[in-house]
Amino acid sequence: MESTPVKNGSKRSFASAELTLTLIFLLFIGVFFVLLLVLPKHVGELSGRERTVLADYPVKASDFADGTFARDVIRGDFSENVDDFLESHFPGRQFFLALNSYAKRFTGQNATESITLGRGGRLFTAPAVFDEANITANVDKISAFAAENGLSVCMAIVPSAGSVYAEELPLVHGDYRDDDIIEFVQGSTDAVVPDILSCMRSYHGDANLYYRTDHHWTMSGAYECYLLLCSEMGLDPVDRDEFEANGYEFFGTSYSTSALFLTESDTLEIWEHPDYDNITVTVTSGAEETTHTGMFDYGKLTPKEYDKYAAYLYSNNGITVIDNPNGNGESVMVVKDSFGNSLVPLLALNYSRIIMLDLRYYGANHPLPSELVAEYDVTKLLVVFGVDTITSGYPINYLR
């Protein structure tokens, strides 16, 4: 069979197309290289949308004088520093991150991401992993600490938005086993474990119980839990009408992580109460101790601040002591993750003193929790953990 010869004109067309593509590629690389050189760098600053600190220059003049450059080259750190710098300061970085995220969504890969986009623009975090060994270790440590210190204990396990708003999940999604996790905790301890999941699912009000752009509950969600805890812990709840709510535009951590930057903002609410003017909050961060009046850090609520959730109780700190001169005379210890930050201001209106511990920010310079129990004459222990915390390697060993 005779082959059909390729005409010279066709060869020239192929060569011309290849040359054109090569030139376009080189032009693309050249433009971005020039932009990388001339655009201002914001090294060390926080990238608001992504909430990451922008990488420093991979090499500085002082690195040559003190031998740092040679050491980094030998160790391979220099190439990693270059990669980090280029990743942080690549021109149009946020555009390309968003393009990648939306491309994954439209190609059906949404369900494999750590954040998935559901109905109504709600961003869901991936389901917590049901790890029986971690749950058992955490629950046993809490129970042992309570027994050793003569404390009654209540464990508030906060469900995820994926379990509460299951009807808003995308068609393809991970398996949210919050029911199983909470039931396992209930069967692993003699402590009171309120059924917060059923409480949230039975809510029929108009308010969102969880943020759309963040994994935390809203003040309305925290208040529903507060009412349940009051019934379990023998407290008289403060009526909702006694609070004044003020709203602030808010983009949460799910928004930052997902790069789905077309998602509409949330409204973060601060619930003020007249009695907060009499309550003092003393936070211990590292070796530094600071005392504030009131529940909220209003400096975190300015338009330039992205992490507005940090306004609740002055963000996460190893130890936070809250004193209410008009409380019920009792002292309670709260061991929590960040869900506790918006819940504890409600409980502060009931108790005379709350010693709040976040063991993720604990260190050797902090007193032992058992020493704090003795110092403040604590009689009750309240644990406030999200389902992902009770199933994880939370540094529970500090609880001793």
Closest C-alpha to 349, from 247, 266, 239: 239
Report the C-alpha gap between 316 and 340 in whole angstroms: 10
Report the C-alpha gap between 336 and 252 in whole angstroms: 19
Exposed/middle/buried for residue 134 (C-beta within 10 Å: 0-12, 13-18, 19+): middle
Report the C-alpha gap between 39 and 250 in whole angstroms: 28
Ranges of H-type helices in the chain: 8-38, 61-65, 68-75, 77-89, 93-106, 132-148, 161-164, 178-187, 196-201, 219-233, 253-258, 340-347, 369-376, 387-390
Cβ within 8 Å of residue 167, ≥6 positions away = 119
CA end-to-end distance (rounded Å), the chain = 87
State the pLDDT at residue 19: 77
State the pLDDT at residue 110: 63
Q: What are phi and psi of 155, to 5 degrees?
A: -115, 110
pLDDT tens for the chain, 400 residues long, are 455 555 556 666 767 777 777 877 777 677 656 655 666 666 655 555 656 655 666 666 566 666 666 666 677 666 676 566 656 555 666 665 555 656 666 666 665 568 889 999 999 999 999 999 999 999 999 999 999 999 999 999 999 999 999 999 988 889 999 999 999 999 999 999 999 999 999 999 999 999 999 999 999 999 999 999 999 999 999 999 999 999 999 998 888 788 787 889 999 999 999 999 999 999 998 778 999 999 999 999 998 888 899 999 999 999 999 999 999 999 999 999 999 999 999 999 999 999 999 999 998 889 999 999 999 999 999 999 999 999 998 999 999 9
Report the C-alpha gap between 254 and 248 in whole angstroms: 17
State the pLDDT at residue 22: 80
State the pLDDT at residue 259: 74
State the pLDDT at residue 55: 61
State the pLDDT at residue 31: 67
Q: Write down the domain spans for the chain.
A: 42-90, 120-398
